[in-house]
Structure 1
Amino acid sequence: MTKEFSVPPVIFPSGGGTAGNVNQRRVPTAPFQPSRPPSSSIPFMAFDIGSVPSSSGPVGGSISTSAASGSGSFDDEEPLLDELGIHPDQIWYKTRSILNPFRVNATAHKDSDLSGPIFLYLAFCLFQLLGGKIQFGIILGWIVVSSIFLYIVFNMLAGRNYGNLDLHTCTSVVGYCLLPVVIFSAASLFIPQGGSVPRYALAGVFVVWATRACTNLMVALADGGEEHRGLIAYACFLIYALFSLLVIF
């Protein structure tokens, strides 16, 4: 059994004027625009595009002004090495003070740094590498252990009243006084390998040089070290004799 539904007829408007109410044209409306806050937190979105005044001047004028201000700000900045704490003049001044084995300038080493010791460490490793010895980790480990050893020895000898030598200064002194051993490592490239007498004699000269420089700096930089000069010199001699054995063997 089928059920019938009554559907009203559909009347399409014609082009005539009788159906004016049906064929009435809609009034165009403005598109939806979200409400903007009075002040935006984003700098480049804080203005309305339509409210930007048109400038009649050339575009290049503003670019040149900003470029000039940018170049001025770059000129006022410090060099990159100074920002990293690396001062080549200071490193050369401290290294040059070690070159005189009889008189070491202790005032140059009052401001301790690790840039010069790292440079000497890399030079020592490079000369050892040219001699066919890959000892980067060994040398670095011995430098750290030697600095801690000398720091403990001096503070135990000096006691509470005069033990004012910090580990940073001790590491700086041990690193800079490694310069004679680095020179010996470079000179050993031109000496025949093996246990020859000139090789041992040359090693002894450079070890005494490094020991004397390190002892003078330790005594001059720390208080109360003059009375323990002999024991400090013995500890320094053991340290640089150990480094010289890397070059000989």
Structure 2
Amino acid sequence: MAKRTRMELAAVTLAPASYSPSVSSSTIHSLDDGCLTHVFSFLMPIPDRYSIALVCHRWRYLACHPRLWLRVERSTKNTSEPGVFPNLQDAISAARPGDTILISPCRDHIACNIQIKKPLCLIGGGELPDDTVLTCSRGSESALEFLSTCKITNLTIRTELGYCLLHRSGRLTIEGCILQCEENPLDYLSFPIISTATVPNAFRQSLKEHGSDSITVAQTRIEGGAKAVFTSGNLTLQRVRAIYMRTCIFFWFEVGEQEL
């Protein structure tokens, strides 16, 4: 028997007892909003729940329901709506460990020295990473500072002078993003990614068993800055791959403790 997706298995669980695989795939559309939202809650935020939000307007509304994840909407007028916040800082402060934050398509989101100390997933809500832009103004050290295991995807992060992403500790995953440092005479002070993570020798073995600090970059466009990534701790750049396109370069690489 062919493998079924998590969505199909959830639909079978919630469907009537007479349900059979031969029934038309439109069966899931006959579920009311409450049941369909419950089905979506079994899906992983990335890529499953993010993908189903692109199916139709109804699925997008239910897949983005506050019960499933938090949302950042700069244009929101009703600040009392649960799960919806006017800026990223407020959403991160209110989030619980493991939450997913969907950031609405907008080129005016502000991100300056925002510390993330709990496991979170940040997703740009547009079709392309260019649709959702986080901007860090001059005078700030970084746009986002990570002190916990996190994932960011489908976002553009732009900084005028400083770091797009500052990695202190945890496992950071960057997927399908654009990191931009503005080019200027002080280009050597700008880095798309910088890691200061240092693993003490006495704890390296135990950390390896439970997952040590690292950065994983996949299908990400990096522009400007003296280097794509700079490390001041004991992590090193590893397994670099790049694909040269006509107008840009996409990178895949890892930053982690060098194997002895």
TM-score (normalised: structure 1): 0.25
The structure richer in helix per residue is 1
TM-score (normalised: structure 2): 0.25
The structure richer in strand per residue is 2
Greater relative CO (CA pairs within 8 A, separation 6+): 1
